[in-house]
Chains A and B, each alone.
Chain A
Amino acid sequence: MNAAAIETRRSEALDNFHTRGMPHRRFEHWRYSDLRAILDAGQVAQSGTAKWQVESVPDGVELFDLAAPAEQAPEWVVRYLGTVGNRPTMKEASLAFADGGVALRVTRGRKSAAPMRLQISSTGNVRLLLVLEDDASLTLMETHASDAGLLRNVGVEIVLGSGASLSHVRLAPSAPKSITVEHIGVTEARGACYRAHFANFGSRLSRTELHILLQDVGAEAHLSGVMVLGGEGHADVTSHIEHVSGGTRSTQLFKKVAGGKSRAVYQGKITVREGANGSDSWQTAKALLVGDRAEADLKPELIIFADDVKCAHGAAVGDLDPESLFYLRSRGIPEREARRLLVRAFLEEAVEPIEDGGLRAAVWREVEEALSRAMVIVR
């Protein structure tokens, strides 16, 4: 395999993008995020390349700048770039049009404890490739600047070798004028573990889509996330986890607070492939509507081709519990503060899974700020 392989995948991606056109609401899984209504293919092609920046590269982590000529790409970049997960339209666009991005590799057995910070800013398409070799581990904090311009379209590929472990926290602050799309493809070998948290604070249209393949026994994916939306903010997290092999496990817990005229979307599809016996999955999505005109669309979906599996799912949309609110007020806590306290309590369970204390605190800071916007009108 050589560098020409990358060029071939790029031109395939370009063809695919032009053949399929922009995703729109008539596609079931784009129903709540009508991209074509606000963006055309020409704008995607001409949006340029978004910027990325890493603070420092920890020991045992290799970095390759995808803006460099393909001939310089190391073997692992050539092998994986453009191959991980399915190839949906917007991900193809990021491969076809991004003139850069970053590839990271954690070599076999290297464990990097301190979080590595990756900042994505500016406007355009960009690619990210992350390869963790066998038994390697990494914590990645992916933060987005809110200056996304018209469009930021990120294509992420994650390859987890046997026994590899990645903790991924994605923090996307409010960018009310921008369209932000990110597609994350993950493939996991035997005993690998992907833990990810998605904190979304709303864009004009924000779509985070995941496609995770649990390829072999013992592979696990644990997703959690919070959304706090106000104004006319929109955020959509759509996941598809495929239990390719038996003895694999996935969990998902998403909590959303929607105020103003915002819209919070969660679509979670689980596929248990034929023969993937002993697979275990559960997913829960809950939304709290704190604005009269806010909307939440929660859609769990199960497609099961195996017999001996455990699949649990649940979704609920509601308001704050009046009993709890009265209890706090009867203790002297003013209504506004009591409501904030209860909303925080509602989100807690979905923030808690972030293992790194510093990253957890960073998410809470953003939540606090977003709550001020989401809860502007208290009845």
Chain B
Amino acid sequence: MSMLEIKNLHVTVGGKEILKGLTLRVAAGEVHAIMGPNGSGKSTLSYALAGREDYQITQGGISYRSANLAAMSPEERAAKGVFLAMQYPVEIPGVTTLNFLKTALNAQRRARGESELDAMSVLKLVRQKAGTLQVSEEMLKRALNVGFSGGEKKRLEILQMAVFEPVLAILDETDSGLDIDALKLVADGVNALRAPHRAMLVITHYQRLLDYIVPDRVHVLAGGRIVAEGGKELAHELEAKGYAHFAKEPA
């Protein structure tokens, strides 16, 4: 049994069907890439997995560690180890980044029946992870994402991933808006989290990120369905031939 099993998933947003029968399996320890052109349904898939309310599942289902993921609230999913690194992290004035990390981590721990960590333990944990991602003390003291550059926001998403230690991590276009140095930094952060008990779904438009986060499997998403699957070499083929070539072929 795979960790994540998506079967014939249909998702409607605002009355419009975006995912039209998507099927995907991801096993523990694997990194899968989902590639696709704009409008193919990549972000819809990530939001459906994280549980956004306005993303309605009309057919099919998502099973995560043998449980029905679709029936869970976003916070339940987080507590059970699902993490989505968002393409556009939101800015929350008035809540410091460090305080946010503590609140979220402890909420997850509480939901799992674990003891809460005090401020000092959280600070220690965050500091230990923040260094390699070049997230400064100053950033931790600022309001969450407020006035952060695109690169800083993405680094903070990866820091959250490192702190929460999810079981299933979904990265939605984490590479968008990053220069090559920032991209390498983020990729190093992601690679450091690869583990036998953890699965990752890396969603991207471009092959570039996959030079640094090398996937076990690559899936091509077009028109709300997976239209091609293969090993890491598929990403290079896409780069050479473009999406148009794949979009025509059924999977």
Q: Do A and B come from one complex?
A: yes
The 5 lowest CB-CB distance pairs between A and B, nearest first, are A348-B94, A332-B78, A345-B94, A332-B108, A331-B104
Taken together as a complex, chains A and B put the C-alpha atoms of A333 and B164 apart, in Å, by 12
Count contacts between A and B, CB distance < 8 Å: 74
Neighbour of B107 across the interface among A326, A334, A346, A348, CB < 8 A: A334
- Report how far A345 CA is from B144 CA in the complex, Å: 10
- A116 part of interface (Cβ distance < 8 Å): no
What residues of B have a CB within 8 angstroms of the CB of A328 in the complex? Answer: 92, 104
A-B contact pairs, 7 of them (CB 8 A): A327-B89, A330-B51, A330-B74, A332-B78, A334-B75, A335-B75, A349-B94
Docked-complex contact B95 and A329, CB < 8 angstroms? no
Q: Which residue of A has the minimal Cβ distance to B47?
A: A326
A47 to B53, CA, bound (A): 54
Q: Is B103 an interface residue (CB 8 A)?
A: yes
Q: Shortest distance in angstroms between B90's beta carbon and chain A's nearest beta carbon?
A: 5
Chain A contact residues, CB within 8 Å of chain B: 321-324, 326-335, 337-338, 341-342, 344-349
A322 to B103, CA, bound (A): 19
* Closest CB in chain A relative to B179 CB, distance in Å: 25
Pick from A324, A329, A337 the residue with the most CB of B within 10 Å. A329
Q: Most chain-B Cβ atoms within 10 A of its Cβ — which of A332, A337, A341?
A: A332
- CB of B93 within 8 A of CB of A348, answer yes
Residue of B nearest to A324 (CB): B90
CA distance A329 to B79 in the complex (A): 10
A351: shortest Cβ distance to chain B, in Å? 9
Q: How far is the CA of A346 from the CA of B100 in the complex (A)?
A: 15
A101 to B134, CA, bound (A): 59
Q: B182 at interface (Cβ–Cβ under 8 A)?
A: no
Q: Tell me whether A323 and B78 are in contact (CB under 8 A).
A: no
Taking a contact as CB atoms under 8 Å apart, the answer to whether A333 and B75 are in contact is yes
> What separation, in Å, do the CA atoms of A244 and B129 have in the docked complex?
57
Chain B residue at minimal CB-CB distance from A352: B94
Once the chains bind, are B92 and A341 in contact (CB under 8 Å)? yes
B94 and A332 form a contact (CB under 8 A): no
Q: Kindly identify which residue among B50, B73, B86, B93 contacts A349, using a CB–CB cutoff of 8 Å.
A: B93
Report the Cα distance A347→B93, complex, angstroms.
10
Which residues of chain B from 22 to 57 have any CB-CB distance to chain A below 8 Å in the complex? 50-54
Is A345 a contact partner of B93 (Cβ separation < 8 A)? yes
Q: Are A333 and B93 neighbours in the complex by a CB distance under 8 Å?
A: no
* B160 sits at the interface (CB 8 A): yes
In whole angstroms, what is the CA distance A96 to B77 when docked?
A: 65
Inside 8 A of B107's CB, which chain A residues have their CB? 331-334, 337
Residues of B within 8 A of A337 (CB): 103, 107
Measured CB to CB, the closest approach of chain A to B198, in angstroms, equals 17
- Measured between beta carbons, the chain B residues less than 8 angstroms from A334 are 75, 107, 111
Contacts of B75 in A (CB 8 A): 329-330, 332-335, 338
In this complex, what residue of A is CB-closest to B111?
A332
Q: Which A residues touch B52, using CB under 8 A? A: 326
The docked-state distance in angstroms from the alpha carbon of A213 to that of B134 is 52
Residue of B nearest to A333 (CB): B107
Instruction: Indicate whether B84 reaches chain A with its CB closer than 8 angstroms.
Output: yes
Q: Are B78 and A344 in contact (CB under 8 A)?
A: no
Minimal beta-carbon separation of A309 from chain B (angstroms): 30
**Whole-angstrom CA separation of A337 from B73 in the bound complex:** 14
* Distance of A297 Cα from B90 Cα, bound (Å): 29
In the bound complex, residues from chain B placing their C-beta under 8 Å from that of A323 are 90
Interface residues of B in 51-100 (CB under 8 A from A): 51-54, 73-75, 77-79, 84, 86, 89-90, 92-95, 100
Alpha-carbon gap, A348 to B50, bound state (A): 29
A335 touching B160, Cβ below 8 Å: no
Q: Give the CA-CA distance A349 to B90 in the complex, in Å.
A: 17
In the complex, how many angstroms separate the beta carbon of A295 from the nearest chain B beta carbon? 25
Are B78 and A341 within 8 A (Cβ)? no
Chain A residues, CB < 8 A from B77: 330
Sample of 19 further A-B pairs with CB below 8 A, known A328-B104, A349-B93: A327-B86, A327-B90, A327-B92, A328-B92, A330-B84, A331-B78, A331-B160, A331-B164, A332-B75, A333-B103, A333-B104, A334-B75, A334-B107, A335-B73, A337-B107, A341-B103, A345-B143, A348-B93, A348-B94
Write out the residue numbers on chain A whose beta carbons fall within 8 Å of the beta carbon of B54. 322
Chain B's nearest CB lies how many Å from the CB of A185? 33
| Cross-interface CB contact of A347 among B73, B94, B100, B108, cutoff 8 Å | B94
Please measure, in the bound complex, the distance between the C-alpha atom of A352 and the C-alpha atom of B98, giving whole angstroms.
19
Question: CA of A322 to CA of B14 in the docked complex: distance in angstroms?
Answer: 14
